[in-house]
Structure formats: C-alpha cells, structure tokens
Amino acid sequence: MKEIQQEVDDYIGQFKEGYFSPLAMLARLTEELGELAREVNHYYGEKPKKTSEDEKSMEQEVGDMLFVLTCLANSLHIDLEESHELVMKKFKTRDKDRWTKKQ
C-alpha cells in the first residue's frame, strides 16, 4: 500500500492544483461507486448494457475507486496500511464469531 500511496502522491504532485478537497473527493468516490454498481448490474443484474455504452471492466472501475480513495487518504495523511490493520483487528476481535467458519 505504501508504494501505491507514493505512486499516487508522485502523480498528483506534478500538478499545481494538487489534491482536491476531501468533500470533492468524496463526491468523486461516490461517482466511481455508481459506475462500479452499473458494471456489476450489467454483468450480474437484470440491466443489459446498451449498444451505445462503452465496454468497461469491473477491474477498471475498482481501480478508479482505489485511486480516488488513495487520493483522499493521502490528502488527509492517512496511512492505508494502518487503516487496513485497524479494520482487520476489528474483524478479528469484535466479529470473530459472527460468521460460520469452514471446517
């Protein structure tokens, strides 16, 4: 994750504008989530893709979300590895007996 955060920071750092505001990035993250939802609906849902729509992949849409989330984390000085460790600790303690484990 550190490499991803650094690569995104290097990319954004080449522009005078820098990172957008956290609120603008949250709006953009929401837009990207909508695009991912649309792709999932095309593949697994009841909504077929129109012939006029571009072919996009879920990998691309997840990548877009990862990029914007990384931008948001970087702008707020959040270490994504640390965030991941915090959430995994929560799942391994609070939610450890929540789901049926495989035998």
pLDDT of 28 over the 90 cut: yes
Q: Supply the pLDDT for residue 49.
A: 74
d(CA 80, CA 77): 9
Local structure of residue 79 (DSSP, 8 states): -
CATH no. for 2-93: 1.10.287.1080
Look up residue 2 and give its two tokens: 């550190």
What pTM was estimated for this model as a whole?
A: 0.86
